Amino acid sequence: MSPSDPFRVIFVCTGNICRSPMAEAVFRDLAEHQGVGPLIVSSSAGTGEWHVGERADERTLEALDRRGYDGSKHRAKQFTAASFEENDLVVALDRTHERILREWARDEDQEGKVTLLLAYDRDADGLDVPDPYYADTTMFDAVLAMIETATRGLFRQLEPALRQSRTTPRSTPRI
């Protein structure tokens, strides 16, 4: 990895059609608006293969659109062993995903890349972003609000190192 490579963050949920596409879109938008978009690549994946190739859930797309985010290009994919190598940070949306990802990690370096999104929201009530799949539109909006808050917290942790990387050789930001 060269110093000019962007920092790569992947958000992981179950099927990659609800929560993780939301986090991917929010994080990408935040990086663009903060002027560090070229320094970050935001992606997402699911632990399962059920929805590979599908668009995000329509309710996800509608929730994103209501808040000004674009999720229209999203296509679900599954997290693979290569995903650890391709990304600098692996952000799980709940503790089940975190446990699965840590089990899939081949070594301490890969396991050390795994973190929970809600760990970056000091006011969160718990560590799991609830799965809105079997809920109504209101729940999708509530989940998106949780993701926005936690994503801002994650971004605040990463931003100083990202901005510094413009002038110095790149190293993985410590969070």
Whole-angstrom distance, CA of residue 130 vs CA of residue 149: 14
What is the mean pLDDT of the segment spanning 40-69? Answer: 97
Q: How far is CA 147 from the centre of its chain?
A: 9
Average pLDDT over residues 73-77: 97
Residue 107 has pLDDT above 80, yes or no: yes
The band of 83, judged by pLDDT with boundaries at 50, 70 and 90, is very high
pLDDT, mean of residues 79-100: 98
The catalytically annotated residue of 13, 28, 57, 170 is: 13
Q: What is the pTM of this model?
A: 0.92
The whole-number pLDDT of residue 170 equals: 47
Looking at 19, 28, 59, 170, which residue is catalytic? Answer: 19
| Nearest CA-CA partner of 59 in 131, 167, 148 | 131
Residue-averaged pLDDT of the chain: 93
pLDDT at 174 > cutoff 60: no
CATH architecture of 7-164: 3-Layer(aba) Sandwich (3.40)
Q: What is the mean pLDDT of residues 93-110?
A: 98
Question: Where residue 159 falls among pLDDT bands split at 50, 70, 90?
Answer: confident
Strand partners, 91: 11, 115
Q: How much of the chain exceeds pLDDT 70, in percent?
A: 92
Q: Is position 19 annotated as part of the catalytic site?
A: yes
Instruction: Quote the CA–CA distance of 121 and 147 in Å, as a whole number.
Output: 9
Burial (Cβ within 10 Å: 0-12, 13-18, ≥19) of residue 169: exposed
Sequence-ordered alpha helix ranges (H) in the chain = 19-33, 58-66, 81-86, 95-104, 108-112, 137-164
Task: Give residue 50's identity as a one-letter amino acid code.
Answer: W
Average pLDDT of span 103-121: 98
What pLDDT, on the 0 to 100 scale, is given for residue 34? Answer: 93
| 131: annotated active-site residue | yes
**Of 8, 67, 102, 131, which is the active-site residue?**
131
Indicate the SS3 state at residue 89: strand
Query: Tokens at residue 123, please?
Result: 């006011």
